[in-house]
Structure 1
Amino acid sequence: MKTSCANYISEIGRDRLKDMLYQMLLIRRFEETVERLFMQGKIHGTMHLCIGQEPTAVGACAALTNEDKITSTHRGHGHCIAKGTDVPRMMAELLGKKTGHCKGKGGSMHIADLEKGNLGANGIVAGGLPIACGAALTSLKKQAGFVVVCFFGDGATNEGSFHESLNLASIWNLPVIFFCENNQYGMSGNIKEMTKIEHLSERASSYGIPGEIVDGTDVLQVYEVTAKAVERARNGEGPTLIEAKTYRWKGHSRSDARKYRAREEEQDWMNNKDGIKSFREQLLRDRAVTEQEVIEIEERVKQLLEEATEFAENSPEPSIESLEADVYA
């Protein structure tokens, strides 16, 4: 059963709930837009879409302040948007333009926005976990007060970096939340074939930290559980491992024909477990929004993406002289 919006109207307000819907719609329409641009040959490299996983990004980031940090994954567009990035500059980055957040050099898999606390997406599976620990250690040593949410997929939980990072964070009591987006498949293999435990969050017990399971299609449940983990971390009580059960509607990347899973399974998630659709229905049922407000939200999303696409397409390419600039050795 989905979390009711009624209690949240007084707790966080209608405007916050409407913003959650806006952000989830923005992420989905952004992904649909960049998929189209990719097919037109305007975005190079590869593309990992997070359509279907919007509630995890929005719910988790809604529990954070502007000063808090995140680390992201190769499927990180949603995290970037949910953390409050400038969407036109983000679109420019994906198109490899000079006006992008990373001047066109990061692209889809390595986009970062330090001003908003996004320490970067990462093309390496589990690559963001040690970085998140480093940022959390900085917060602890400097008494900066910020917490770090580290997003990663189910496939990352079998990497050495996952276990090393959880162990390090637990013994040092770091203010970090390990957020696993379990979308059921690590590239082309079902997670049930890769691990013998039913819930990946059970691994938290090996490191003496709390492990939580949430419905990754329920943005309010994700928000509530993440907010509690953030509060624990901010109070010096250390890390938490959160496992959000979710699903990616598209393939692992644009080259993935999805031959490893049944179309009936995909349709079940799309038709019956769409977190945006269910949240919109909750908001309307609990009178947190009106039908007209939903229409206005959708129009705002459409207008922003049109402006972002125009900005990106009309932005200049990086100059050849800037090839070696901003490169670390």
Structure 2
Amino acid sequence: MNREQSLSWLARMLLVRRTEEAIARHYPEQQMRCPVHLSIGQEAAAVGICSALDEQDQAVSTHRAHAHYLAKGGDLDALIAEIYGKATGCCGGRGGSMHLSDRRVGFLASTAIVGNSIPVGVGMALSQQLQGSRAVTCVFLGDGAVEEGVFYEAANFAAVRRLPVLFACENNRYSVYTRLEKRQPAGRKLTTLAEGIGLRAWEVDGNDVAAVAALTADVVASLRDGAGPAFIEMPTYRWLEHCGHADDDHLGYRPDGELADWKARDPVAQLIARLQPDADWLAQCEAGLAARIDTAFARAKAAPFPAADTVFDGIYATPLQEQH
């Protein structure tokens, strides 16, 4: 691994981890204006994928979007303010946790409905192709989204048109409380399913940021050269409940010991063990992140809510009161 690059991955993964830990701590205060879906434990997948993307490249995401937004270069203050429903949020306080958008960093959209952003991303890739751009689009999705009809339709269209789109699948094995084995036939691999649609497909350890980054760099380069759409499956694991800030292992939907096994494969701890960064560097990194995150929360809490007279801003249909 390139050490400088690897340290930057570690810093970005720590940013994601510490931010979401702070969200979990503050959520019980009942000031956040939306549900939250945290991806603690899945940081390597987001950072590894986004390490190969440029600002010109676009990304769309899911209800579990914080890590993708920050890994793509999104603004921490804007993210936290958005979760608090404040005017300084990346969507002006109108989107909340599940509807993040920031065109300045190429983060096109995230949506709450499973699979809903997939055709949006494929449409963006079509636009890039029609413009003759070398930019690509990354569609983040979970394992549950491959069971939605829109995935098959959009992936088939991408394959037919050879679009520059990467389907980045974070396979955390659960759709809410239902294990993958309860939703897919025995022996089926998601990569085989993707190949059957016409996508080029790979599987890589979603908790190994270096492996994800190396594979993604090659795949993105091939997309820029017109090789056609690709699918990367990244087995990983969410540590907390599907929706919310709490641990839910007591509910019994996870087999005994499974969560502990995955925590032993903590992607942040693994990278620290491999890099063995200087203790002073790590301490300064952690202190700097703590200060940034505390400041972001303080600013979000102090920021104003959107003004009432802006309620129709961003709505393309003519408001009813102007139609009569």
Structure-2-length-normalised TM-score: 0.94
Which residue is 2:98 aligned to? 109
Report the Cα distance in structure 1 between the residues aligned to 2:220 and 2:170, rounded to whole angstroms.
17
Which of 12, 18, 27 is 1:38 aligned to?
27
Which of 117, 139, 146 is 1:150 aligned to?
139
Residues 192-211 of structure 1 deviation map (CA, whole Å, 9 limit, x = unaligned): 11011442111122123211
Which residue is 2:321 aligned to? none
Count of matched residue pairs? 313
Which of 280, 297, 311 is 1:292 aligned to?
280
Which residue is 1:199 aligned to? 189
Report the Cα distance in structure 1 between the residues aligned to 2:78 and 2:84, rounded to whole angstroms.
10
| Contact preservation (8 Å) 1:95, 1:313 | yes
Report the Cα distance in structure 2 between the residues aligned to 1:209 and 1:161, rounded to whole angstroms.
15
What does 1:228-243 correspond to in 2, within 5 Å? Answer: 228-243=218-233
Report the Cα distance in structure 1 between the residues aligned to 2:195 and 2:68, rounded to whole angstroms.
27
Question: Unpaired runs of 5+ in structure 1?
Answer: 1-7
Report the Cα distance in structure 2 between the residues aligned to 1:35 and 1:253, rounded to whole angstroms.
11
Which residue is 1:48 aligned to? 37
Report the Cα distance in structure 2 between the residues aligned to 1:255 and 1:217, rounded to whole angstroms.
21
Which residue is 1:87 aligned to? 76
| Contact preservation (8 Å) 1:203, 1:211 | no
Which of 265, 270, 274 is 1:273 aligned to?
265
What letter matches 2:131 in structure 1?
K
Which of 1, 15, 24 is 2:4 aligned to?
15
Identity of aligned residues (%): 36
**3-state SS of the aligned residue for 2:41?**
coil
Report the Cα distance in structure 1 between the residues aligned to 2:256 and 2:193, rounded to whole angstroms.
31
Structure 1: 4+ residue segments shifted above 6 A = none
Which of 244, 249, 262 is 2:239 aligned to?
249
Q: Does 1:65 align with 2:54?
A: yes
| Contact preservation (8 Å) 1:229, 1:239 | no
Structure-1-length-normalised TM-score: 0.92
Structure 1's 291 and 198: CA in aligned 2 closer, same or farther, altered over 3 A? Answer: farther
| Contact preservation (8 Å) 1:150, 1:179 | yes
| Contact preservation (8 Å) 2:80, 2:296 | yes
Give the aligned CA root-mean-square deviation in angstroms: 1.3
Report the Cα distance in structure 1 between the residues aligned to 2:211 and 2:141, rounded to whole angstroms.
19
